[in-house]
Chain A
Amino acid sequence: EPEVTQTPSHQVTQMGQEVILRCVPISNHLYFYWYRQILGQKVEFLVSFYNNEISEKSEIFDDQFSVERPDGSNFTLKIRSTKLEDSAMYFCASSEGDGTYEQYFGPGTRLTVT
């Protein structure tokens, strides 16, 4: 069964450094998402992406975040200058369509900012 994959599974970085989290969505999916979960808190929506542009973003998704689909398979989340509070689990998801379509989640990348 096709699944969403994410790399790396764990990333450790120093404050102020740039990180890129990678996701490979399911191949025929058109909508892509990033969520994050700070330890002990709710899973929070960051951004959705469709047709090579951001379709929706939350208040968390400020100028230090960016997303890109650099080729036909990868979907990336870049954090330009990491802060301690960016430490979280980051989940990528994809769906075949909008509306009623199910979002399929990847296993997540644990980001630790020191």
Chain B
Amino acid sequence: DQQVKQNSPSLSVQEGRISILNCDYTNSMFDYFLWYKKYPAEGPTFLISISSIKDKNEDGRFTVFLNKSAKHLSLHIVPSQPGDSAVYFCAASARSIGNQFYFGTGTSLTVIP
């Protein structure tokens, strides 16, 4: 059963515009969330994280928003750049229930120049 879901397999955005990638989770015990970026033939690379005590974390062009009541998080990229084109995975974990990180199936972002 998929505990972390990314319902949009792909997204296309014009360069300079905002990219919004969404992620939903089902387990209310999750308290730590991450976004990873993956280029073809490479492993995922860490992008940004957020703890459940926060509802927003910002790092340069990347901002992650967490809505615990809706069990929803989103990644905003603004302005989007062609180099942002990649597959984005969200992940969640809760040390209180084990060592696993649960990953979504990914959203492929294409930024059009």
A and B are interacting partners: no
